[in-house]
Amino acid sequence: MKLLILILVVIINCVVAQEFGFANVWVTTVDGTVLFEEQEPAMFKWLDSSSQEDNPSDIDVVISVNNDTAYQRVYGYGGALTQSSAYLFTQLLEQNKEYGTEILNKLFSQDQGIGITMIRVPASACDFSLSNYTYDDIPNDTALTNLSIAIDQQYTIPILNLILEINPAIKLIYSPWSAPSWMKSSDSLDYGELLPSMYDVYTDFFVKFLELYYYHENIEIYAITLQNEPLFQPMTYPGMYVNSSVESQLVKLLGPKLEKSGLNTQIFIYDHNWNAPEYPMDILQDPDAYEYVGASAFHCYAGDVTNQSLVHDQFPDKEIHMTECSSGAWSPEFGENLIWQSQNLYIGSIENWSSSVLLWNFALDLEDGPTNHGCLDCRGFITVNNTNYQSVQFNVEYYGTAHYSKFLSDPSYRVQSTQYFPNPNAEYLQTCISSIAFQNQGDNTNHLVVLNACNTTVSLQMNVGLQNKYLNYNLPMGLTTFYWAI
């Protein structure tokens, strides 16, 4: 009899567990002692409104995930495969193919790594390149006879092919830092403007390099930005000033050429800081340009993420992407980065309508390079030990991104998550708890990421909207991801 009861209890428990399920839990703490480590799963319980447990007084925050309220599609999280990063991956692979492959998997594989799905590639030399180049540096080659992507065949394309083998669905965004010097007022890759006589030639240049990628390398480029940081003219490395009226003209020239070519590549505009949202709005206000714009792209180095919403609110049918944000020696502290990047990028940018969040270099070396006279103290997702190219260090950008990117399954959408603080004594926690939720239709899962930037452990009740189930968890200071099947 005892045995029978025991068996019954076990069976009932199993049924209950099956019915309400559980969430997998992953944690990174601000002190860096727990680094994206999977925890014991958290069991869901039945949310009975008559029960005391519905709102126990020891709960600091109740977060409700409502998957019936969906916002924008989210394509993913990522960074940039600069020529410097591609070079470092190549060195790792040359020293030890197995180890180099493992590192690529840790970044780009969803099973074996953190599942990065978006990559930005500089379509010319930038501040992280081994030389100064564009795809056509033959003076006065207005017929673009000598345009070539051979420079990318050295490091970038072989590494991209390995990455696309890991995940063929990864989306690529290409951004030039400068047009060829012979198209510019400065006759240099640094500073200067595009000569008006070159607008037509330069838009042909885009179509031609996209075709070379597609037809010769079998690599489809998802989107281009017309110019990296068009309002900034660097004096010591490639860059080009392009105001919004010139960019608008380029959109109107390039759009029809892309359409005619049959390529599916989208045009993203702006690609610069949060502080001048009027730049993309100027372009979107022109109906002839509007129809060819895929999205507005933002960087994090000036202004505030909330300005992304100004552009979204006025042009809700055009996507927003966050295409660059670097960290570096100016932000050395693990926990401060984990918090700032979540508040402003991983959560803040998505809350303000972004469809992707990209940081900067995937890989830099112990000297923060190879650099090309631009940023001398930037930090990548990983730091490669360039003494012998046999080890790497994973940085906070890797662990932070992991919490959001690993669980996406295309198509993923941001869904509503609301916060409520039942205990008046814990109301101050409102300023230090943030969260973002995703519905991953690709594999019918959801994930919620909660940032606890408070100075204390916080007790959470997570409610899953329509399903009347909840779970409890004590959130350590740092990031906690809950991942469950619908």
- Would the CA dihedral through 241, 243, 244, 249 be positive or negative? negative
Query: Which of the residues 283 through 342 are near ligand NAG (CB under 6 A)?
Result: 303-307, 309-310
Report 142-201 residues binding ligand NAG (CB under 6 A).
145-146, 190, 193
Q: Least Å distance between CB 187 and ligand NAG?
A: 10
Cis ω before 411 (30° cut-off from 0): yes
Written as one letter, the residue type at 126 is: C
Distance CA 379, CA 331 (A): 9
Count of chain residues binding ligand NAG (CB under 6 A)? 45
Site string for ligand NAG, 372-411 (x = CB under 6 A): xx-----------x-xx-----------------------
Is residue 95 within the footprint of ligand NAG (CB under 6 A)? no
Q: Among the candidate windows 12-20, 82-90, 273-281, 328-336, which touches ligand NAG by CB under 6 A? A: 273-281
Rounded to 5, what percent of the chain is helix, strand, coil?
A: 35, 30, 35
Q: Does 132 interact with ligand NAG (rule: CB under 6 A)? A: yes
Nearer to ligand NAG, 248 or 265 (CB): 248
* Tokens standing for residue 357: 């969040």
Cβ atoms of 310 and 371 within 8 Å: the answer is no
Which lies closer to ligand NAG via its Cβ, residue 228 or residue 439? 439
Burial of 43 (0-12, 13-18, 19+ CB in 10 A): middle
The binding track of 347-376 with respect to ligand NAG, each residue x by CB under 6 A or -, is -x--xx-------------x-----xx---
Burial, 397: exposed, middle or buried (Cβ in 10 Å; 0-12, 13-18, 19+)?
Answer: buried
2 burial via Cβ count (<10 Å: 0-12, 13-18, 19+): exposed
Amino acid at 56: P
Q: Is 239 in the site for ligand NAG (CB under 6 A)?
A: no
For ligand NAG, the closer of residues 166 and 345 by Cβ is 345
Q: Which is nearer to ligand NAG, 169 or 302 (CB)?
A: 302
Which of 236, 314, 457, 474 touches ligand NAG (CB under 6 A)? 236
Q: Helix or strand or coil: residue 126?
A: coil
DSSP result, 410-439: SSEEEEEEEEE---GGGGGGGGTEEEEEEE
Structural tokens at position 134: 């564009």
Query: Could you say which of 133, 205, 274, 404 contacts ligand NAG (CB under 6 A)?
Result: 274
Q: Closer to ligand NAG at the Cβ: 34 or 70? A: 70
Instruction: Determine, following the binding rule CB under 6 A, whether residue 412 of this chain makes contact with ligand NAG.
Output: no
CB closest to ligand NAG, residue no: 303
CB of 428 to ligand NAG, least distance (A): 5
Cα distance between residue 206 and residue 200, in whole Å: 10
The string over 328-360, giving b where at least 16 C-beta atoms fall within 10 Å of a residue's C-beta and e elsewhere, is: beeeeebbebbbbbbbbbbbbbbbbbbbbbbbb
Q: Minimal distance in Å, beta carbon 246 to ligand NAG?
A: 5
The identity of residue 137, as a single letter, is D
Which is nearer to ligand NAG, 255 or 369 (by Cβ)? 369
Q: How far apart are CA 96 and CA 443, in angstroms?
A: 35
- The answer to whether the beta carbons of residues 307 and 274 sit under 8 Å apart is yes
Q: Segment near ligand NAG (CB under 6 A), from 50-58, 95-103, 135-143, 326-334? A: 135-143
Smallest gap from Cβ 57 to ligand NAG, in A, equals 19
Window 32-71: contact mask with ligand NAG (x via CB under 6 A): -----------------------------------xx-x-
CB of 135 to ligand NAG, least distance (A): 13
Residues that bind ligand NAG (CB under 6 A): 67-68, 70, 131-132, 138-140, 145-146, 190, 193, 236-237, 243, 245-246, 274-275, 277-278, 303-307, 309-310, 343, 348, 351-352, 366, 372-373, 385, 387-388, 428, 439, 455-456, 466-467, 486
